[in-house]
Amino acid sequence: MPEPHPLIVPILEEVDFSGIANLRHLKVDHALITALVARWRPETHTFHFPTGECTITLEDVALQLGLRVDGLPVIGPTLYDWEEMCSTYLGIMPVKGESLIGSMIKLKWLREG
């Protein structure tokens, strides 16, 4: 993972996410991941082990990564010119009210575009 941009470092520190930003090299145990994938049951969103079922909770992630999961959510602005965003990133502009409703774009329009 690259070094975080200096402009966002104070924000990461303010929301107590600086610990995750400092993770650089994680050793991936491919055998362990393969074993876990084999035991995953998508119907119940759990791992099935000989001793019983197990799942990953938000608390588990918080403890492992040192992230805060309480307090106010971290959000950003959502007031964008969505037509302009589509034009910039997709190269085509949707028709407001038909293929673009608020910030939602119809999949049919995306497929046909």
* CB 35 within 8 Å of CB 41: no
Task: Output the pTM of the full model.
Answer: 0.44
Instruction: Report in angstroms the alpha-carbon separations of 76 from 15, 31, 88, 93, 101.
Output: 13, 38, 20, 24, 20
pLDDT tens profile 55-84: 999 889 888 877 777 877 767 766 788 888
Print burial letters for 25-47: b (CB count within 10 Å at least 16), e (below 16). eeeeeeeeeeeeeeeeeeeeeeb
* CB 58 within 8 Å of CB 51: no
The token pair that represents 18 in the structure block: 């600086």
Look at 30-44, 50-64, 66-80, 99-113 and tell me which has the smallest mean pLDDT: 66-80
